[in-house]
Amino acid sequence: MTPIQHIQLHKDEFTKSELIIMDYILSNLHDISSYPISTIAEKCKVSKSALLRFCQKCGFQGYSEFKYEVSRYLQSIIHITEGEIAKTQTIVDLYTEQMNKLPHLLSTQFLDQFSQLMIDARKIKIFGVHETGLSAQYFSYRLASLGIDSEPVFDSGIFTEKATMSTDKDLNVFLSLSAETTVIKDSIHYAKESQSHTVLITQNDHYRNKNKIDLAFILPAFQLDKKNIFVDSQALVFLTIDLIINNLASHLREQDSHKI
C-alpha cells in the first residue's frame, strides 16, 4: 500500500492542522523526499510534533519512515498518459507485474501455517465487505471443492455477531484491502476475544491490531498515477486465494497418503 493510500485511509480522523499537512503533502510529494521534518513543518506552518503525530496516525513509526516510503513510492510510480490507456496491453502488463510478485511474497511458511489452521479448524468463517465480499464467497466456493465447509460472511450487519460466536476451535479469515474498515477492526477484536484463530489478507502493511492477528499476508499494491486509469486489486485477491487453495490441496493429499 502506498503512503498516499495510507493518508487517504485516515483522512476522516485528521484534525484541522492535519488536514493542512495532508493537502501540502499530496501536492508536494517531492518535497517530502527531499527535506527534513523541520523544513516540511515550517512549510505547513505547523509544529514538528504535529507533523510527527500525522505520520504516526497514518501508521508510520515517524517522519523518517514516512519520508523513506514516499521516496520509494516516487521512484516506483508508473505515470500513464491518456494515450497509453487505449492500449489494452498496458492494462494487462500492470496486472501481470503485480501478479508475478505473488509467488515471491507468499512464503512457504505462511501457506503451510494457513493450510494447517484450515485443516484443524472446527468451523471456518471468511469475512469480506463490499468488493471483498465477492472474494469471501469465492474463497468459500474453492474450499468446498476440496470438501471443506466454510461460511462466507459478507453482510456487515452481522460481522461482529459472527465473530463473537466463534470459539477457540474456529478460524476467522478477514479479507480487507485497507484493514481499516470499522466493522472489520471490530470483528477482529471480537474474534480475538473469543480466542479463535485469525488470519488477515490485506494491502495495508501498517494495519492496526497486529497483536490480534495470528497470521497475515500483505498483498502487493498498484503504484501508479491513476488519474486516467482504473485497476482493481480484487484480481490479486482471487489469485492469492487460488495459490492458498493449491497449497491446501497438497497438504490434504499428503494426509490422505499417510492414512493408506
Structural domains in the chain, sorted by start = 3-76 (1.10.10.10), 102-219+230-259 (3.40.50.10490)
- The pLDDT assigned to 94 comes to 83
Q: Give the strand order in the sheet containing 197-202.
A: 151-153, 123-128, 170-175, 197-202, 215-218
Q: Is the pLDDT of residue 147 over 80?
A: yes
pLDDT (average), residues 170-183: 92
Q: Is the pLDDT of residue 260 over 60?
A: no
Residue 11 C-alpha from the chain's centroid: 17
Q: Is the pLDDT of residue 86 over 70?
A: no
For residue 32, give the nearest of 9, 17, 54 by alpha carbon: 54
- The pLDDT assigned to 80 comes to 55
- The residue ranking higher by pLDDT, 202 or 72, is 202
Q: Is the pLDDT of residue 79 over 60?
A: no
**Interatomic CA distance for residues 165 and 206, integer angstroms:** 28
- The pLDDT assigned to 13 comes to 86
- The pLDDT assigned to 8 comes to 85
What pTM did the predictor assign?
0.77
Which residues have a Cβ under 8 Å from the Cβ of 202 and sit 6 or more positions away?
174, 175, 176, 177, 178, 179, 216, 217, 218, 219
Per-residue exposure over 215-244, b if at least 16 CB sit within 10 Å of its own CB, e if not: bbbbbbbbbbeeeebeeebbebbebbbeeb
Q: Is the pLDDT of residue 214 over 90?
A: yes
Under the banding of pLDDT at 50, 70 and 90, the label for residue 127 is very high
- The pLDDT assigned to 191 comes to 95
Question: What are phi and psi for residue 125, nearest 5 degrees?
Answer: -115, 135
- The pLDDT assigned to 259 comes to 66
pLDDT (average), residues 191-212: 91
Quote the mean pLDDT of the chain.
88
- The residue ranking higher by pLDDT, 81 or 21, is 21
- The pLDDT assigned to 207 comes to 85
